[in-house]
Structure 1
């Protein structure tokens, strides 16, 4: 059975921390491949202005082109309506695939607010990475609670903290500051060519 990691997000834009998380997940969990899943119309960002899905897809595709262990899926972009995680996992699940859903610690804290959480946890192994702003004691408490309530195992990745955010990158572009410390050059060039993030 093949082991597939799935890392979703708006990737608006994708940056080096996303690539690092995917790489460490592949290495630590002995995954065959990590699939990047750019969100089409995520319910938690409903009403917020995000960059056109096709542009975000192209940026992810450029960012992962030098990594044979990474691939990209357009499923959430091409489907109609909101993008719910349980539907994505149902789409990807098959008899010869074991799925590992890679998400931030903030999502673990809020996971019971997600649509059909029991289905999500039945379809995948949940893999969590820590990020700034999350209380470690709160995370450990929530991890134990979810594992006991839903009878699942949760894996917490051991990572170096890279404090890079898409929000900060967008602000730096608007302020005419360099972003090549945080974003692959191919993506920097794409952003400049398409004049992205220059205005709110």
Structure 2
């Protein structure tokens, strides 16, 4: 039986409990062997100057996933000096022959996927796994899923998850105004943010 590997990329600025919940559900619902968290290096769709230090984001993910035996972290995108495109990351992991790849992404990414680079190569390298996010209806997602499946002749898996309304930008905002964020992020990440005075 082939190994099934989830690829979960993101800026993770910071990683929060919503990310952990999504990864945990994907692992269990899809019977994956492991999930690799890949903090984004230089994401093409974000203003890089507004993203926190790469080493700090890596460390926060590392701390957050420490107690999950099937979760791993990769610095593949962080080591790149050029922009990080999903198709390149997925093709790199496919070339390692580590198993069948499942690319986990949110509703917002599926809705805007037509603007991504080399979508056909993304679809070729991995099975897309889409989870719902606040701001999108299930109907919208199902419709877009069908449209993308038809266009690329590939199946997309829809993960119906609880809508945890936690966002990294929201967590940063709470921290900057001195509010408590214990319920949004793991304790280890909270301590690291405080010790290193991030988002103040």
Q: Normalization by structure 2: what TM-score?
A: 0.96
In structure 1, the residue corresponding to 2:88 is in which secondary structure?
A: helix
Deviation per CA, 1:122-166, whole angstroms, max 9, x where unpaired?
A: 000000000000133222211111111101101011211111111
Is residue 190 from structure 1 mapped to residue 187 from structure 2 by the alignment? no
Shift of 1:58: 0.3
Distance across 1 between alignment mates of 2:56 and 2:191: 13
For the pair 1:90 / 2:91, whether they are aligned, the reply is yes
Could you say which residue in structure 2 is the equivalent of 1:175?
177
Q: Does 1:76 align with 2:77?
A: yes
Aligned to 2:131: 129
Distance 1:123 1:70 in 2: 21
SS at match of 1:43: coil
Shift of 1:46: 2.9
The CA distance in 2 between the partners of 1:83 and 1:47, in whole Å, is 11
Q: Secondary structure at the match of 2:45?
A: helix
Matched, 1:31 2:32: yes
Query: 1:76 is paired with a residue of what secondary structure?
Result: coil
**Structure 1 residue 95 displacement after superposition:** 3.7
Q: Residue 44 of structure 1: SS of its match in structure 2?
A: coil
Alignment size in residue pairs: 198
In angstroms, what is the RMSD of aligned CA positions? 1.0
Say if 1:6 and 1:96 are closer, same or farther in 2 by CA, change over 3 A.
closer
Q: Which runs of 5+ in 1 are unaligned?
A: none
Structure 2 unmatched ranges of 5 or more? none
TM-score, normalised to structure 1's length? 0.96
Superposition misfits of 4+ residues, deviation over 3 angstroms: none
Query: Would the aligned equivalents of 2:41 and 2:54 in 1 still touch at CA under 8 Å?
Result: yes
